[in-house]
Structure formats: C-alpha cells, structure tokens
Amino acid sequence: MTIHQIIKILQRNIKPYEEYVVEYEVMEAMNTISNGEELIKPILELIGNYPMVDFGTPGYLVHFVEKFYNKGYEELLMQSVIKTPTSHNIWMLHRCYNNANDTKHDIYKMIAMDLKNSDTTPIEVKKQIDFYDWD
C-alpha cells in the first residue's frame, strides 16, 4: 500500500460522532511503509478537520504519529494546533507538554495560552485548554 492509498483509506474511515477505526491491514501498511513520517501531516489534518470524530484516547493514529516524537512530529503538531485547534489536538499538545525535558515545553504552553486568549478559538477548545495544567 502506498502513502496515497493509506491516506485515502484513512479519510474514508471518517464518521462524525463515532469512534474512529483503523483496519488491521491499514495499520500493518502504516507500520511497514518506509516513509511513514509522510503520514504525520495528513493524519494531523484529519484530526484538525474533523473535531466531531472520536479518534480515541489516544487511539491508533495518535500512537502512530507519536512514534515520530523528536523526529519532526512536534513541529507539525504545533502547526496543526495553530491552524485548526480541536479538543483532540490540544490533548495531543498537552501530552508533549508533559515532558518537562522537551526543549519546546514553553512553546507548547505559549500556543495553548495564545489560543485560550484568542477571540477566534472555539469555546470547546478553550474548555479543553482550561482542563489541563499548563504550569
């Protein structure tokens, strides 16, 4: 399976207000493809563009992208959160923030606080930001 095929299948699996499911064959393809890091951005876009989908806590997609922690994932996550903040990607950002040794620790907090103070941030995202401890 190619990156393009995997992305198409991941997009087809979107069902608002339902738990997101990734079939075993797709998981296997994601785990064995040589350029898996190319899936990070499209997965983050899915999470950002479909706030009413239950992607799990953390769910397979989060587990997959977190394999690229310290390999570019955090930068793409921050871009995604700034562009399209959702309750789910705020939760993902806080997971990164929880690593006090992460060199971007203060940046995660700054992004969250900027979103919290923005007039354009959806109220449910602001509530999610308030739910977490950022100190």
pTM above 0.85, yes or no: yes
CA dihedral 25, 55, 41, 83 (to 10 degrees): 160
At CA 58, angle to CA 26 and CA 129, rounded to 5? 135
Q: What is the pLDDT of residues 61-119, one digit of tens each?
A: 999 999 999 999 999 999 999 999 999 999 999 999 999 999 999 999 999 999 999 99
A 10 A CB-CB count for 31 gives 10
Confidence of residue 58 (pLDDT cuts 50, 70, 90): confident
Q: What is the pLDDT, as a whole number, of residue 68?
A: 96
Domain spans in the chain, listed from the N-terminal domain onward = 3-131
State how far the alpha carbon of 58 is from the alpha carbons of 3, 10, 91, 115, 119, in Å.
22, 16, 9, 22, 28
